[in-house]
Amino acid sequence: MWPGGEALDAALARDLLPRVQQLWNVYGPTEATVLSSAYRVTAADDVDGTDGTVPIGHPLPGERLYVMDPLGRLAPPGVTGELWIGGAGPALGYHRRPELTAAAFVPDPAVPGGRCYRTGDLVRRRPDGELVFRGRRDHQLKIRGYRVELGEIEAALRGHPDVAHAVVTARGHGAEAHLVGYVAGTVPGAVTGAQAAEHLRRRLPEYLVPHRWVVLDALPTLPSGKVDLAALPEPDQAGGPATAGRPVASVMEELVADVWAQILATDRIDAGDSFFGLGGHSLAATRVAGRLRDTLGCAVPVRLLFDHPVLADFAERLERLVMDDIVATPGHNHPGK
């Protein structure tokens, strides 16, 4: 069996293996004669646990695959870059589209006189040389100065054993832009948004972890089987257990949420939200620490927020800090005393 056209999910590969004699994951765009690489999946495979997808493998005979950085240089192993395809596969160009041809078909970086097709696909090379698909270049966007690759987040989510399908979208504009994660469990109730977020935090930088979540029994799809992005519900419309966060509850959580809202210019913060996922940065963290110091009457180290960016966790640590300060300073005129 030779599945292709979409990233092969590791869970699907495991389901297919006992049903077929051989399973090959194949990759290749139309502009490079359809097939450019292949990877044989076996029962003994340790598929890429970070991405949750099966590698796309090595180039087929006569093909050359390059992982290129944004400046058109070869990217080191382990670094995500754009896949360029050289060799016998690439077409001559697009019919009567000279500008598009010039942008997509470029000189081969290693073979004088050779040509490559720029796929727009993002990949990284594993230590064993196998290539792993990471998403699309045109799915990149910037949120509060951070370059975000939605496919990278979705691939990491698919690595969760209880996640059957996942998609990540961006909502809002400018300072209000944020990520929303949509997940469907292997069975209803198998995974929560909080569990999905924690799974990502162990694998990706904090700014790549969505701070809003919607858990559905199944993601809406088009007749082609792809996720129907237009049919995804807004987080506020999902209701009930679909959202992962809980409202702030304690006095300290309310105080922290109020300060974060003022500093980050946002009006909706849940106890499970991450400061940096909401767009916080080092300067904003310094302002938060200063505001809390003035309110609580004790020193609040900025490092505390970096070590505990989730509101509920940060509020709990902050409350301990305040209590320790009261105990260590008898007669201290603390506002909560």
Q: Of 124-133, 139-148, 260-269, which range is least confident?
A: 139-148
Per-residue DSSP letter, 273: -
Give Cβ neighbours of residue 240 (< 8 Å, ≥ 6 apart).
Answer: none
Least confident interval from 38-47, 107-116, 128-137, 319-328: 38-47
Note the pTM of the prediction, 2 decimals.
0.50
Task: Please state, in angstroms and rounded to a whole number, the distance separating the CA atoms of residues 162 and 10.
Answer: 12
Span 288-305, average pLDDT: 92
Query: Looking at residues 40-51, what average pLDDT do you find?
Result: 63
- State yes or no: pLDDT of 239 exceeds 50: no
Residues, the chain, total? 337
pLDDT tens sequence across 264-293: 888 778 888 878 767 777 788 899 999 999
Report pLDDT for 46: 53
SS (HEC) of 120-153:
EEEEEECCCCCEEEEEEHHHEEEECCEEEEHHHH
CB atoms within 10 A of CB 284: 19
What tokens appear for 271 in the block? 């106890």
Q: State the residue for tokens 């590969």.
A: 13
Q: Which tens digits make up the pLDDT trace of 144-153? A: 566 677 888 8
- Cα(216)–Cα(317) distance, integer angstroms: 33
| pLDDT, average across residues 118-141 | 84
Q: 215 φ, ψ to 5°?
A: -105, 125
Number of Cβ within 10 Å of residue 194's Cβ equals 17
